């Protein structure tokens, strides 16, 4: 909607997502986080714990967006291969990062073993991302932010990521709830509004499909100019009022 706002992509890494064992929630968390900063999330990919797949996806995404955020694969076990894949994607080496090593030694004490030591390996040139939950850090290299897959840890890492990001104009969102008719009954009014306001995005999200109870659709109006968004909402409500269709701001 605004070419000056930074763009972003998300890369979710983990067999557990593609096997269906785990319902991903990190994409939604990141989408809300980026939206609040005015960074436009344009694309997301999910790949398994496969080196070539991670390298290929990461190189495609980092070339096409201002920022890339990855989640998953930075733990101590053999299937945690993200750090090596990121190093390969950037064509740099990987070695134990002294600060990461110190953090992990402090955390684990007598239980600091070779497996846990793997979590100190950071691609050359990477800077650490603090993990206030379990200490083992993520890292930031170039325009790529590499974070844990566990949602609680990923979310906590965003505190240390946010100050490093260039922000954009925040997108303002309003919802008009239409009830009693399906979205096909308001599609003409919505389409006309979209044609008349190219800077504003209009979405329609129906509810109550084919089931007992209320049917309707939520019309979502989004844009970076809050006054224009408000005007678009008023215009929609006025157009709907002429048809007798029930509609109200949410």
**What is the nearest approach in angstroms of a copy of itself to the Cβ of residue 2?**
14
b/e map 22-53, b = 16+ CB within 10 Å: eebebbebbeebbeebbbbbeebbbbebeeee
Q: Find the binder of a copy of itself among 63, 78, 109, 213 (CB under 8 A).
A: 78
Region class of 180: left (phi > 0), else alpha (psi between -120 and 50), else beta: left
Distance, in Å, from the CA atom of 53 to the CA atom of 145, rounded to the nearest integer, reads 18
- The residues facing 128 across adjacent strands are 139
**What is the nearest approach in angstroms of a copy of itself to the Cβ of residue 78?**
4
Residues 142-181 that bind a copy of itself (CB under 8 A): 150, 152-153, 171, 173
Tokens found for residue 84 = 């090596």
Q: Find the binder of a copy of itself among 28, 127, 167, 243 (CB under 8 A).
A: 28
C-alpha distances in Å from residue 109, one per residue of 112, 116, 117, 134, 231:
6, 11, 12, 14, 60
Q: Find the binder of a copy of itself among 4, 63, 110, 114 (CB under 8 A).
A: 114
31 versus 128: smaller Cβ distance to a copy of itself: 31
DSSP-derived secondary structure letter, 38: T
Q: Find the binder of a copy of itself among 81, 101, 116, 230 (CB under 8 A).
A: 116
Q: Find the binder of a copy of itself among 184, 234, 241, 243 (CB under 8 A).
A: 184
61 versus 141: smaller Cβ distance to a copy of itself: 61
Tokens found for residue 181 = 């008719």
b/e map 125-153, b = 16+ CB within 10 Å: ebebbebeeeebbbbbbebbbbbbbbeeb
130 versus 133: smaller Cβ distance to a copy of itself: 133
The stretch among 9-17, 85-93, 120-128, 234-242 that binds a copy of itself (CB under 8 A) is: 9-17
Torsion angle of the four alpha carbons 5, 190, 243, 216, in this order, in degrees rounded to the nearest 10: -90
**What is the nearest approach in angstroms of a copy of itself to the Cβ of residue 1?**
10
**What is the nearest approach in angstroms of a copy of itself to the Cβ of residue 98?**
20
Q: Which residues bind a copy of itself (CB under 8 A)?
A: 15-25, 27-32, 34-35, 41-49, 53, 75-79, 108, 111, 113-116, 118-119, 133-134, 150, 152-153, 171, 173, 183-185, 187-188, 190-191, 194-195, 201-206, 209-211, 220, 222
């Amino acid at each position: 909607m605004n070419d000056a706002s930074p763009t972003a992509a998300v890369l979710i890494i983990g067999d557990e997502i593609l096997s269906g064992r785990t319902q991903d929630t990190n994409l939604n968390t990141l989408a809300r986080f980026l939206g609040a900063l005015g960074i436009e999330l344009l694309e997301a990919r999910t790949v398994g714990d496969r080196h070539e797949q991670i390298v290929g996806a990461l190189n495609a995404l980092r070339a096409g967006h201002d920022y890339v955020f990855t989640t998953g694969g930075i733990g101590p076990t053999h299937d945690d291969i993200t750090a090596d894949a990121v190093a390969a994607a950037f064509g740099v080496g990987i070695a134990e990062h002294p600060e990461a090593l110190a953090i992990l030694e402090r955390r684990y004490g007598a239980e600091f073993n070779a497996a846990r030591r793997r979590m100190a390996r950071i691609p050359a040139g990477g800077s650490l991302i603090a993990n206030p939950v379990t200490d083992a850090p993520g890292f930031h290299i170039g325009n790529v932010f590499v974070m844990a897959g566990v949602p609680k840890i990923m979310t906590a890492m965003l505190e240390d990521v946010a100050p490093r990001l260039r922000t954009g104009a925040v997108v303002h969102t309003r919802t008009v709830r239409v009830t009693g008719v399906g979205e096909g009954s308001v599609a003409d009014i919505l389409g006309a509004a979209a044609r008349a306001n190219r800077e504003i995005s209009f979405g329609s999200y129906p509810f109550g499909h084919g089931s007992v109870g209320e049917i309707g659709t939520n019309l979502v109006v989004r844009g970076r100019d809050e006054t224009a968004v408000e005007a678009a909402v008023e215009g929609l409500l006025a157009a709907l009022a002429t048809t007798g269709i029930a509609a109200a701001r949410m």
